[in-house]
Chain A
Amino acid sequence: MKTLACARLLLAHDRTSLLRLLGIVCGVAVGTALFLTLWGFAQGLTTRTERATWPDYATDGTAGMPAGELTGELSSDQIVISGNSAVLYSSLADHFLDKRIGVVSIAATADSTVAVPGAHPLPGPGEYLASPAAAALIAEYPVEALGERYGQPAGILGDEALGSPGSLLILRGMTLEEIREQPDATVVSSLAGKAFSTSTFRIAAIVGSIAILLPVLLLISIITRLGAAQRSETFATLRLIGATPAQIARLAVLETGVTSLVGAVLGAVLAWAASPLFAQIQIDNERFFASDIQPSLPFALGVALLITLATTFVAWVRALRSQNTDLGASRELMEKRPGLWRLVPVLLGMLALVGGGWLSSNPVMNLGVSELLFGALFVAGFAAILIGLVLAGPLLTWWASRFAARFSRGAAGVIAFARIRQHPQATFRAVGGLVVAVFVASFFFAAITIAHVEEEGDGRDSQQGGAESSSDTAGASERSAVGASPDLLHASLSGGYTVADMDAVQEQLKAADGVTGVAPVYYHERPTATEEGSNTEGEASGGAEAGPSEGIAVLRARDAAVLGIPEAEVPDAPWIELPPRYLPSASVPEDADPEASIQAAQFADSSELRPSYLFVGYDGDPLMRERIRTVLLTSSLRLAMVPLTIAEMRDDGATDSFVQEYAYLANLGVLIATAVSGISMAVSTVSSILDRRRTLALMRLAGMPHTTLRRMIAAETLLPLLVVFLLSAGLGFVVAQLLLSGLTAGRRSVIFSLLDPTYFVVLALSLLLATAAILATFPTARRSTALSVTRFE
């Protein structure tokens, strides 16, 4: 009680001290809230992904049986269904206007006990369940535009099947016979999503969370030190008049403990209460279920308590340590010269990464264990380097300041570098967050170059499920479909048709409303190529991958106009060869002539032709396009995928890629870390000015101009920043290199020419933010050293 009274008297006696305490409370509250909110989002992304990906993993895992084994000559009563609990399943990405709708088709065997997320009971054949957002979309438009595609509405899909409140998902019931006709139909015995497709992504998520949360913790530590110089003067005076070290430490604990506790609990409650609001924030174009990102109240309070304990403990240690220094009212705490031990964690981290890499290329144990060990070593090494950077920063800054001091000529430089030399930790703390952000950004952008390589290479990511084939197609279409008209739906056919069949379909479709033209495209295999046999699935993909050297795409000359081919270019023949530039999914060789003239097609008999595409032109009205799509989808035609325009395919390719999604999240993370760090920097710079306000004000009084003060602030902040900026960028690349070679047993490395330009934008942005933070402190610096507010004796 006596300590309390004493503390109140000493630490909260006037407006300035009260303001300082209030500042600490608010700062800790904001920091804690930020920490919990970011944590919540990280959790939310994981749980959301886990819930939303159940349709993607049905083909994965041991229970799944590839579609090829179900189709063909087998009839439904011949399908071998393991046990009595199984459903048949297929998943497609449908398009409506500019939206994508996930469509899962399902047929349960009579005695199936497989739990399908969100469906109680399962929709019967011809019925569908829609997610709330999908139901709203269907209700908004005429049935012939959208609703008809899926059958009869039978209710709403439960939230446990959806990633976010805005998810567009349809669960369509079918008979066993119908579902056999679907591409990718599979037998599954359980349906559950995964938060991470591979352990690499799990590592990335852990590492990313550390990288975002660390700057927030730095911010909190900076805030609790607001006005530390002033306080240590008070403590020194107290010692002078006879307070024991224990009494002073108790005072420090009380002050920091109470302010941190109030702030942290406030922040925790704020984060908890505001999460429904934050759930409205869209990440990756989707909102969140509030329950996904809301930290539980006990957890939030637990974090608040931990933060309080940590800050209080640090304050206690500092107060005790400060008692070892010389006594003197005006003598401020001296920082010790940073020791070489500060380099140890970074070196250990590097060692862990190199060791992990060696292990993965020379597996001494069973491969699975090696892989696991590599993951553990990598996470540990990465964390060590991340924290090690923050630890090594003061030492490097100290070295740099000694070096820079030799070349500094002006008063500002002399003052600034002396300050850094005397307070390397304090000056570095200001930029610590940015250093972390730059390190992570460099690491990420370097590591992601591998993905670009794999995407262009074999890049079939088997984890992607139904949407995957379309995204691959779209990747190729960037280059190939340059000649295709935008108002054209490309329906990829799933085989079994003859030329005569297609002619009939063409006539029927032409009569439909809004259709401007219909063109069946066939695949003709060159005699040199081996026949694929009657496997219908093989036929469809064979058609899609028709390269100019193996086979040709062929269509009737009279249909060329549908594709937008000028009449003058069409040779006078019944059948013409279609150059790959008109096809959505052919791979065009680099040396292919984009202007190559169109040739007449050479083949013996039209029975050699296998229908592969149906191109349907429409009048450009989006709603009309949707109606035509509905007609195609509900027709008896067997389609390999949903008919799409070239733009939609490209869109699929752009949004579906895992790499893109992670790049987006990483950018977001770096942005947040950078912003938090910018705030830290401003706070800590201002606080360092306030700590020196008397002396600086006296210098101003003696005639030191504002510009010197400003230059001094800039030098104090920019030197530590630039030194470690380069180091952390470099280390980021090195660590990425170690990761890639470790993951691929040395086969892959960072490719600098593939560095995303966004990286440089991020770098520029963090420098810009740092500059902004410095500029933001100028007015405060000017005000706090103004002659009118300081008394000089």
Chain B
Amino acid sequence: MNSSAPPSTLPGIPPATSPGATPLITARDLHLAFGLTEALRGVDLTIRSGEILAIMGPSGSGKSTLLHILAGVLVPDRGSVVYNGQRISTMNEAERARLRLAEFGFVFQFGQLLPDLSALDNVSIPLLLGGMSRREALARSEELLGSFGLSSCKDKRPPQLSGGQAQRVALARALVAGPRVLFADEPTGSLDSLSSEQVMEMLAATVRGFGVTLVVVTHDARTAAYADREVIVRDGQIRSGFEL
């Protein structure tokens, strides 16, 4: 499998702006408890536009929880998240859903593709949800899949794809609607080192090419190596962070 070069232009995405300058997401004093488990205990974090941020830490430290709060999936018990001037933490569920659909993309470890749909249809869903016509959505998805080296897989259904292929389809789906921020939770967690490298390379190249901000949760140092910056979560708090 050739690890194809990242696309030079991504349909529908404005050209890159200078990365790293303005804060895009600002989280202050985040607290969240699941019953007695305090998953987050006062997290402060600023994410700058266009950067790649890796969130690392041991298992159970609260990485996924933090990611979900940043993306407006979970609501913190205390503290605030401001995205691009909008206070996410006080929006209602419908408003947050609209924001996620329009501005964010998501990649998870596995199982995010609809098993009944072909790879192509899976990629087109966010465009359809955004109100695009079926034909245009399919054309655009096909183009993107092609640029990800997945043309031959477009009619296969997820159970017929390899793990790496499935992750790349998921990546295409996350990017097809032109999000400003991509949230990835262990995107290579279920892959062997070779496919994981392919996926990460593609991920990094794509987001850099289009100035998409990437927040990636990982416990894998090789994955984190693609990041501009990394923070470490331990016991629900950010312990140290350093810039590359």
Minimum CB–CB distance for B210 against chain A, Å = 19
Minimum CB–CB distance for A118 against chain B, Å = 65
- Cβ B128 vs Cβ A698 within 8 A: no
Contacts A792-B108, A793-B186 given; indicate if A414 touches B121 (C-beta within 8 A): yes
Q: A460 vs B224: C-alpha distance in the bound complex, in angstroms? A: 92
Question: Is B102 interfacial (CB-CB < 8 Å)?
Answer: yes
Task: List B contacts of A422 (CB < 8 A).
Answer: 115-116, 157
Minimum CB–CB distance for B164 against chain A, Å = 14
CB closest residue in chain B, given A694:
B111
- Cβ B98 vs Cβ A703 within 8 A: yes
Question: Is B126 interfacial (CB-CB < 8 Å)?
Answer: yes
Query: Is the interface on chain A under 10, 10 to 19, 20 to 34, or 35 or more residues?
Result: 20 to 34
Question: Is B133 interfacial (CB-CB < 8 Å)?
Answer: yes
CB closest residue in chain B, given A325:
B159
Minimum CB–CB distance for B185 against chain A, Å = 6
CB closest residue in chain B, given A420:
B116
- Cβ B98 vs Cβ A415 within 8 A: no
Task: List A contacts of B129 (CB < 8 A).
Answer: 411, 703-705, 708
Minimum CB–CB distance for B37 against chain A, Å = 13
Q: Bits for B42-81, please: 1 = Cβ < 8 Å to A, else 0.
A: 0000000000000000000000100010000110000000
Q: A57 vs B65: C-alpha distance in the bound complex, in angstroms? A: 80
Q: A703 vs B124: C-alpha distance in the bound complex, in angstroms? A: 14
Q: Which of A740-793 contact B (CB under 8 A)?
A: 787-788, 791-793
Question: Is B113 interfacial (CB-CB < 8 Å)?
Answer: yes
Instruction: Give the segment of A294-302, A328-336, A567-575, A626-634 that binds chain B.
Output: A328-336
Q: A421 vs B116: C-alpha distance in the bound complex, in angstroms? A: 8
Task: List A contacts of B157 (CB < 8 A).
Answer: 422
Task: List B contacts of A698 (CB < 8 A).
Answer: 106, 108, 111-112
Task: List B contacts of A704 (CB < 8 A).
Answer: 97, 101, 125, 129
Question: Is B105 interfacial (CB-CB < 8 Å)?
Answer: yes
* B94, B128, B189 pick with most chain A CB within 10 angstroms: B128
Contacts A415-B125, A700-B97 given; indicate if A331 touches B114 (C-beta within 8 A): no
Task: List B contacts of A419 (CB < 8 A).
Answer: 116
Question: Is A701 interfacial (CB-CB < 8 Å)?
Answer: yes
- Cβ A414 vs Cβ B125 within 8 A: yes
CB closest residue in chain B, given A411:
B128
Contacts A415-B116, A419-B116 given; indicate if A702 touches B134 (C-beta within 8 A): no
Q: A744 vs B227: C-alpha distance in the bound complex, in angstroms? A: 85
Query: Is the interface on chain B under 10, 10 to 19, 20 to 34, or 35 or more residues?
Result: 35 or more
- Cβ A414 vs Cβ B111 within 8 A: no
- Cβ B189 vs Cβ A793 within 8 A: yes
Minimum CB–CB distance for A150 against chain B, Å = 73
Task: List A contacts of B159 (CB < 8 A).
Answer: 326, 328, 330-332, 334
- Cβ B128 vs Cβ A418 within 8 A: no
- Cβ A703 vs Cβ B100 within 8 A: yes
- Cβ B114 vs Cβ A409 within 8 A: no
* A330, A332, A793 pick with most chain B CB within 10 angstroms: A793
* A411, A418, A699 pick with most chain B CB within 10 angstroms: A411
Task: List B contacts of A83 (CB < 8 A).
Answer: none
Q: Bits for A685-696, please: 1 = Cβ < 8 Å to B, else 0.
A: 000000010110
Partner of B134, one of A331, A414, A703: A414
Q: A326 vs B160: C-alpha distance in the bound complex, in angstroms? A: 10
Q: A409 vs B106: C-alpha distance in the bound complex, in angstroms? A: 23
Partner of B117, one of A331, A415, A708, A793: A415
- Cβ A788 vs Cβ B74 within 8 A: yes
Question: Is B83 interfacial (CB-CB < 8 Å)?
Answer: no
Question: Is A408 interfacial (CB-CB < 8 Å)?
Answer: yes
- Cβ B68 vs Cβ A792 within 8 A: yes
Contacts A422-B157, A698-B108 given; indicate if A705 touches B94 (C-beta within 8 A): yes
Question: Is A581 interfacial (CB-CB < 8 Å)?
Answer: no
- Cβ B108 vs Cβ A793 within 8 A: yes
- Cβ A695 vs Cβ B133 within 8 A: no
CB closest residue in chain A, given B108:
A792
Question: Is B148 interfacial (CB-CB < 8 Å)?
Answer: no
Task: List A contacts of B102 (CB < 8 A).
Answer: 703
Minimum CB–CB distance for B18 against chain A, Å = 28
- Cβ B64 vs Cβ A695 within 8 A: no
- Cβ A330 vs Cβ B110 within 8 A: yes
Minimum CB–CB distance for A414 against chain B, Å = 6
Minimum CB–CB distance for B84 against chain A, Å = 16
Contacts A332-B159, A414-B134 given; indicate if A793 touches B109 (C-beta within 8 A): yes
Partner of B124, one of A414, A694, A705: A414
Q: Bits for A314-340, please: 1 = Cβ < 8 Å to B, else 0.
A: 000000000000101011101000000
Contacts A698-B106, A702-B101 given; indicate if A409 touches B134 (C-beta within 8 A): yes
Minimum CB–CB distance for A415 against chain B, Å = 6
CB closest residue in chain B, given A705:
B97
Task: List A contacts of B115 (CB < 8 A).
Answer: 332, 422, 692, 695
Q: Which of B167-219 contact A (CB under 8 A)?
A: 174, 185-186, 189
Question: Which 6 residue pairs across A and B have the least CB separation, nearest first?
Answer: A703-B101, A703-B100, A411-B128, A422-B116, A418-B116, A331-B159
**What are 28 residue pairs bridging A and B, where the CB atoms are less than 8 Å apart in the complex?**
A332-B115, A332-B159, A334-B159, A409-B133, A409-B134, A411-B125, A411-B128, A414-B124, A414-B128, A415-B114, A418-B116, A418-B121, A422-B157, A692-B115, A695-B111, A695-B112, A698-B112, A700-B97, A701-B106, A703-B97, A704-B101, A708-B129, A787-B73, A787-B74, A788-B74, A792-B64, A792-B108, A793-B189
Instruction: Mark A residues whose CB is within 8 Å of B.
Output: 326, 328, 330-332, 334, 408-411, 414-415, 418-419, 421-423, 692, 694-695, 698-705, 708, 787-788, 791-793
